[in-house]
Chain A
């Protein structure tokens, strides 16, 4: 059989995201023919070398992380096998939410980073978060963020290489599971803010979609800043912002309605031309589109030509939660896209691992070569396979910050996928939030903005 391999196809399109292989991390990201379907043995070799290398890098180059390791009595040579991974000190996600404002915010960013900074010029006596982020961007460092319902942001700085690698990884992971559908000659609709103008993480990281698919549209064109996010979530500091908040909310609502109409019009054209289509982004936007189609009695039949990849979280308040199963049924009913082509992706701003549903059973497969999942109980002890607990991970990709992090998400990890033949660990299809942790997820923040904070 003539096989123009998946890896070759993807690497051809993702040329701009590939660096010469110099380190075990580069190897683990660029070399494997898949993050999901290679053997555990092969994957573990990549993973061990990559994470060991990454740990050593942060141990040696990050003052604060070095101190943490010293406190926990761990040295970089202590990691001799994958079993030793449990010695690697983890950073709670709250750490990245605990930052000062103004100039000190820039100093904080500099202090959490494990690389030599370029010169960064910051103007003004009391710069806003957005201004500091812009200054870092000028110097080639992308500070992506995500916010939660209590209005605090999580900021994560990535240098150019880490950033390109994370984009490469999301593409390689997502397209792997959609191989049967993927072709460059397709049309996609990004149900997120424009990656070229936003710093919201999931919006930002999807920029690579423009290279993977011939024609990509963006649903949210307004530039979304931290201030806009905060204000539209109703966290206002003064009278002026209170007024702005009202204005933004009504403007966003109007924009929202237009957006839905535009998407339907686009689907209509694509359907007439028999095009290959792809929706990528926040599930609630597609849900709004479907609601409108339902009302107006519209439906399409894209069949195998259509694919959907949702992301950014279903972690909304339970009362408003979109059941993922129902969602797939709706997508099939109104777009004719089969459930095997309707997948969800789980990721977070702090990490560079992209867990993607397998088409067979919609389990979230974990990338095996550079990312190591851990599930902890509330005492911080690891729990066994199949037990519920808090998700944590060791992520070899980021050079700019230590990617050894405890999240706020509740998961169940299985040693093998109950539904498909791919070797390796999976999470159960739906991830929820641990109580007491605020609800977060890029989709949730978008939803708040677009619906006027309802």
Chain B
């Protein structure tokens, strides 16, 4: 009984809502793919070469694991390892220690972890794999990045969960990611949204805080977005969740990545790489912008634009409204 509960809690069985989103997105994807077989084939043929060009040096070193390094052994919800988010993995434990686990206070440590993932892990639409694979590669989708973020946080005894949803994106993001591949564009246009995005939630001092490390600062600069900080929600900044698709999960379901992996690693690898290249070029542009303007000055400038976009309204009681039970 206990085992079954745990399996359910950990989210190993794909939630109905996610199944619905994935299945709902398939016909449009298939249609977009069937329409462009030659394009997909030729981009796949070039994939190997292109992929090589994308490999860059990691901006960090993975510290060495030493036996006896402390890590969180609790089996409580949101603290224990889950699928593809192993907070007990030696490399994770070593990095968590280096980032200040059990030394700094919870908030400081969480912020460190967030900044590490945000600043170092580049967005790339690779097949779903383990947290350590993401760490060794230095790149991954938003979900990869969350798994790494989550593993590091849980290793340092800070509860973490996934917030997954479908979303619509802002124009600059659409141009850079969606329009980079005709297939992806047709897919997105048919649904009007991206199938799935993940934002992290971190439990500190009785509160679930938001952590979305998806974009590195150069990429944000290229898109004209503010540089996301720990605790900030991307909602309304660059992303617009589709009502009714939000899911809070302790862990990723088994098999959820299978269809994605088939697509990203095999069937449409070339198309996926087109998007990755487009993002890499944007990051180069963004780096220049940040060098020219300065990181802080850039952020300040952009934030002014986003600040106070919506006028505030206070809900004052109206004597004319009569409520009766």
Contact = CB atoms under 8 A, between A and B. Distances in A.
Given A121-B324, A439-B192, A235 B243 contact: yes
A124 B325 contact: yes
Contacts of B173: 436
A371 B270 CA distance: 50
Contacts of A150: 168, 193, 240-243
Contacts of A91: 311
Interface in A45-76: 63-65, 67-68, 71
B196 to A, nearest CB: 15
Interface in A123-148: 123-125
Interface string B302-325: 000100111111111110111111
Contacts of B189: 317-319
Interface of B is mostly: loop
A235 B193 CA distance: 14
Given A110-B320, A149-B242, A235-B243, A94 B168 contact: no
A436 B242 contact: no
B12 interface: no
A103 B320 contact: no
Contacts of B224: 378
B185 to A, nearest CB: 9
Contacts of A110: 318, 320-321
Given A149-B242, A436-B240, A111 B318 contact: yes
A38 interface: no
Contacts of B230: none
Interface string A91-117: 110110010100110111011100011
Contacts of B104: none
B298 interface: no
A17 to B, nearest CB: 26
Contact of B320 (A92, A98, A119): A119
A434 interface: yes
A437 B236 CA distance: 10
- Indicate the member of B168, B224, B314 with the most A CB atoms within 10 Å: B168
A100 B315 contact: yes
Nearest to B27: A454
B169 A435 contact: yes
Nearest to A113: B318
Contacts of B320: 110, 116-120
Given A91-B311, A435-B169, A319 B190 contact: yes
Given A152-B243, A235-B244, A436-B171, A103 B313 contact: no
Interface in B139-189: 168-171, 173-175, 186, 189
Contact of B170 (A112, A149, A436): A436
A122 interface: yes
Contact of A64 (B171, B192, B311): B311
Nearest to B324: A123
A150 B316 CA distance: 28
Interface string A79-95: 00000000001011011
B238 interface: yes
Interface string B215-254: 0000000001000000000001010111110000000000
Nearest to B308: A71
Contact of B317 (A63, A100, A107, A235): A107
A221 interface: no
Contact of B310 (A92, A116, A122): A92
A63 B322 CA distance: 20
Interface in B271-325: 305, 308-318, 320-325
A32 interface: no
A108 B311 CA distance: 14
A379 interface: yes
A116 B321 CA distance: 11
Interface string B89-108: 00000000000000000000
B168 A436 contact: yes
Contacts of A318: 189
B240 A111 contact: no
29 contacts: A63-B316, A64-B313, A71-B308, A94-B310, A98-B310, A103-B323, A106-B321, A107-B315, A107-B321, A111-B314, A111-B315, A119-B322, A122-B321, A123-B324, A149-B168, A150-B168, A150-B241, A150-B243, A151-B243, A151-B244, A317-B192, A319-B190, A378-B305, A435-B170, A436-B168, A436-B174, A436-B238, A436-B240, A438-B168
Given A149-B192, A237-B244, A379-B305, 4 more contacts: A107-B316, A120-B321, A317-B189, A436-B168
